[in-house]
């Protein structure tokens, strides 16, 4: 069942289209990664769904009454408020029952790893702590839809891992739409990929669907020496590409199967040191889609 | 607590923690005290730093206490309003520019509650400052120029507050 339906969403600034007729749906309890190069319209799209920007055209249909949780790319807090005061304020504005506000705020801050900093002023927070607090204020009212703009881009690897683990655990109760340019993260937590380029949605589907559209699986042969690789290449058994002592054989209609390659290599002293099968990474797909006219 | 109450609490904390709740009334108290004091000591001030020619004789009538109180209000109209404008200008624009408002706007918060909380808090501090300054000015006027009918003074203050 779809939780959010975006139809022909468009945003123009003085005739320049920042988001150009984008349509997609979000199913309940799924994670959707919004990826694309800088300036492709990711933040504008999220801002329109969050209600911070008014769409120029199109519609956003939400099939739920509870609020949205929104985490901007660089969350800013009132520096004179403590983490608990800010989270409580966020909970109260979002309609959390007055009696539950304190308890729910403390529990949320503990959940994001700020249990020991509840009474610290936000003005003293580090980048990682701000991001955690940003997440806390976004989830304190237990929204059905979480919109996260680059939730981990400002964090170090440890912080990123922790926040990604938190987000994965949230997926059990909420639908998550997040933008990112860290493709490993997108690969790690996504049921649907939305690829924006120059404001247009140019790719859409599950990770495996997108990969299958762009993937060019290869068999990679690692030879002990470059001469051995040159010798194997000179036999011109199949279409192949050589990079020093590594040969890549595209698995396509004309290409070989793994069994065929293994059979050839087993017959003779080929100087083979290793063999593996690779499919295109999301980064390769990103570069292809970003470069596609 | 309704949205207005939540936002008013936030404004209260802000004004308390950035010391506006203290320094604005303090400036108004200072202005209120300065008017009767400078009026009272005007001959001595002119005598010592007035740079008047030798032998100048100036006769200063002692002002009525009511006129001193009216002059205090005159100061508030000019300097008081200026101080207040400088202290609160760009309150909403500042929050938008710094990005702190983003986390509020992304919630079901009415602009009315948001705006009214700021307006009401500013009015509370304005009235507090004016009354504290007014009473401090009255005390010094009473000490230096004599008493004023207290009820008349209250009526004056209330009318000004409106």
Instruction: Residue A204: give its domain's CATH number.
Output: 3.40.50.300
Which one is predicted more confidently, A287 or A202?
A202
Residue A143 forms part of a structural domain: yes
Q: State the nearest Cα–Cα gap between A132 and chain B, in angstroms.
A: 14
Q: Do A33 and A136 fall within a single domain?
A: yes
Residue A3's pLDDT is 85
Checking if the pLDDT of A64 tops 70, the result is no
Same domain, A208 and A256: no
B148 closest CA partner among B160, B159, B139? B139
Q: Tell whether A102 and A166 lie within a shared domain.
A: yes
Of the candidates A70, A76, A80, which has its C-beta nearest B99's C-beta?
A: A76
Q: Is residue A291 part of a domain?
A: no
The pLDDT tens digits along chain B (162 residues) read 688 999 999 999 999 998 999 999 999 999 999 989 988 888 788 777 777 777 777 777 778 888 888 888 888 888 988 998 998 888 888 888 888 888 888 888 888 999 999 999 999 999 999 999 989 999 999 999 888 888 888 888 888 888
Contact A66, A144 (CB under 8 A): yes
- Contact (CB<8Å) A78/B10: yes
Distance CA B69, CA B75 (A): 10
Residue B117 pLDDT = 94
d(CA A23, CA A259): 43
* Structural domain count of chain B: 1
The answer to whether position B157 is within a domain reads: yes
> Residues of A with CB below 8 A from B99's CB?
72, 74-76
What tokens does A195 get? 């690829």
pLDDT digits (tens, 9 = 90+) for A78-96: 999 999 999 999 999 988 8
Within this chain, do residues A181 and A249 fall inside the same structural domain, yes or no?
Answer: no
Considering the domain architecture, whether residues A149 and A96 belong to the same structural domain is answered as yes
For chain A, how many structural domains are there in total?
Answer: 2
Tell which of A155, A187, A213 closes a domain.
A213
In chain A, which residue ranges form alpha helices assigned H by DSSP?
A: 42-50, 83-93, 101-111, 127-139, 157-170, 183-188, 207-214, 226-234, 258-267, 282-291
Q: Is residue B60 part of a domain?
A: no
Question: Do A56 and A175 fall within a single domain?
Answer: yes
Same domain, residue pair A167 and A235: no
Range(s) of the domain holding residue A32: 2-213
Give the per-residue pLDDT at A252: 66
Q: Mean pLDDT over residues A5-11, rounded?
A: 93
- pLDDT higher than 70, residue A268: yes
Tell me which of A25-29, A145-149, A260-264, A287-291 is least confident: A287-291
B111 touches chain A (CB under 8 A): no
Cβ separation of B99 and A98 shorter than 8 Å? no
The per-residue pLDDT of chain A, averaged, comes to: 86
Span A51-78, average pLDDT: 86
Minimum mean pLDDT range among A32-46, A145-159, A198-212, A248-262: A248-262
What is the radius of gyration, based on Cα positions, of chain A? Answer: 24
Does residue B50 lie in a domain region? no
Binned at pLDDT 50, 70 and 90, residue A41 comes out as very high
Which residue range forms the structural domain that includes residue B77?
A: 3-40+65-161
Q: What is the pLDDT of residue B148?
A: 84
Tokens (6 digits) for A241: 């590409």
Whether the predicted interface score ipTM is above 0.90: no
Taking Cα atoms as reference points, which of A161, A135, A132, A165 lies closest to residue A148? A135
Q: Does any domain span residue B105?
A: yes
Q: Is residue A100 assigned to a domain?
A: yes
**Residue in chain A nearest B15 by alpha carbon:** A80
Specify whether the CB–CB gap between A224 and A273 falls below 8 A: yes
Are A231 and A117 part of one and the same domain? no
Confidence of residue A122 (pLDDT cuts 50, 70, 90): very high
Based on the fold, state whether residues A187 and A249 are members of the same structural domain. Answer: no
The mean pLDDT value for A185-194 works out to 86
Boundary (domain end) residue, out of A188, A213, A238: A213
Choose, out of A67, A74, A89, A131, the residue to mutate when testing the contact with B (most B CBs < 10 Å): A89
Q: Looking at residue A215, what is its pLDDT?
A: 64
**What does the pLDDT read at residue A86?**
94
CA distances from B7 to A292, B101, B115 (A): 49, 12, 9
> From chain A, which residues contact B within 8 Å (Cβ)?
50-52, 67-68, 70, 72, 74-78, 80-81, 85, 89-90, 92-95, 98, 134, 137
Q: Which of A239, A237, A244, A254 is nearest to A222 (CA)?
A: A244
For residues A140 and A96, the answer to whether their CB atoms sit within 8 Å is yes
Does a structural domain hold residue A287? no
Domain-located, residue B154: yes
Does residue A289 belong to any structural domain of this protein? no
Residue A290 lies in a domain: no
The CB-side HSE value for B25 (13 A sphere, CA atoms) comes to: 16
Indicate if A66 and A195 belong to the same structural domain: yes
Contact between A93 and B1 using a beta-carbon 8 Å cutoff: no
pLDDT tens string B12-47: 999 999 899 999 999 999 999 998 998 888 878 877
For residue B90, the model assigns a pLDDT of: 85
In a domain, residue B109? The reply is yes
Q: Is the pTM of this model over 0.80?
A: no
Contacts of A76 in chain B (CB under 8 A): 98-100, 102-103
> Under an 8 A CB cutoff, do B3 and A93 touch?
yes
B53 in a domain, yes or no? no
pLDDT confidence band for A63 (50 / 70 / 90): low
A165 in any annotated domain: yes
Domain finish residue from A191, A213, A235: A213
Q: What is the mean pLDDT of residues A206-217?
A: 76
Query: Are A236 and A184 members of one domain?
Result: no
For the residues A189-195, what does the mean pLDDT come to? 89
Q: How far apart are CA A215 and CA B34, in angstroms?
A: 81
**Res. A280 pLDDT band, cuts 50 70 90:** low
Would you say residue A113 has pLDDT above 80?
yes
* Chain B contact set for A51 (CB, 8 A): 105-106
pLDDT at B15: 92
What is the reported pLDDT for A65?
A: 56
The answer on A102 and A155 residing in a single domain is yes
């Amino acid at each position: 069942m779809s939780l959010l339906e975006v139809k022909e969403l468009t945003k123009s600034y003085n005739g320049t289209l920042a988001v150009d007729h984008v349509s997609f749906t979000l199913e309940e309890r799924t994670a959707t990664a919004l990826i694309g190069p800088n300036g492709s319209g990711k933040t504008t799209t999220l801002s329109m769904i969050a209600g911070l920007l008014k769409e120029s055209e199109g519609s956003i249909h939400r099939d739920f009454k509870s609020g949205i949780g929104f985490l901007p790319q660089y969350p800013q807090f009132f520096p004179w408020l403590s983490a608990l005061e800010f989270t409580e304020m966020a909970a109260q504005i979002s309609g959390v029952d007055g009696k539950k506000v304190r308890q729910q705020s403390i529990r949320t801050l503990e959940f994001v790893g700020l249990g020991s900093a509840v009474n610290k002023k936000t003005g003293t927070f580090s980048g990682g702590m701000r991001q955690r607090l940003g997440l806390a204020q976004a989830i304190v009212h237990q929204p059905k839809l979480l919109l996260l703009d680059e939730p981990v881009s400002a964090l170090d690897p440890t912080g990123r891992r922790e926040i990604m683990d938190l987000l994965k655990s949230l997926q059990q109760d909420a639908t998550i739409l997040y933008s990112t340019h860290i493709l490993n993260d997108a690969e790690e937590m996504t049921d649907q990929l939305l690829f924006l380029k120059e404001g247009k949605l140019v790719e859409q589907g599950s990770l495996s669907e997108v990969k299958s559209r762009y993937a060019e699986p290869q068999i990679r042969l690692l030879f002990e020496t470059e001469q051995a690789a040159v010798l194997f290449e000179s036999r011109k058994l199949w279409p192949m590409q050589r990079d020093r002592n590594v040969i890549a054989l595209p698995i396509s209609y004309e290409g070989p199967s793994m069994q065929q390659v293994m059979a050839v290599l087993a017959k003779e002293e080929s100087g083979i040191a290793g063999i593996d099968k690779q499919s295109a990474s999301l980064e390769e797909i990103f570069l292809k889609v970003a470069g596609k006219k | 607590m309704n949205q207005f109450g939540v936002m008013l609490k936030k404004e209260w904390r802000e004004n308390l923690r950035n010391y506006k709740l203290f320094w604005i009334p303090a400036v108004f108290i200072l202005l209120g005290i300065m008017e009767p004091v400078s009026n009272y000591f005007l001959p001595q001030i002119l005598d010592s730093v007035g740079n008047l020619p030798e032998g100048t004789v100036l006769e200063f009538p002692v002002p009525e206490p009511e006129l001193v109180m009216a002059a205090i209000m005159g100061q508030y109209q000019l300097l008081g309003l200026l101080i207040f404008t400088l202290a609160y200008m760009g309150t909403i624009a500042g929050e938008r520019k710094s990005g702190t408002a983003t986390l509020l706007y992304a919630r079901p918060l009415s602009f009315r509650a948001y705006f009214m909380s700021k307006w009401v808090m500013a009015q509370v501090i304005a009235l507090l400052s004016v009354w504290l300054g007014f009473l401090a000015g009255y005390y010094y006027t009473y000490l230096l120029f004599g008493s004023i009918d207290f009820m008349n003074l209250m009526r004056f203050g209330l009318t000004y507050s409106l």
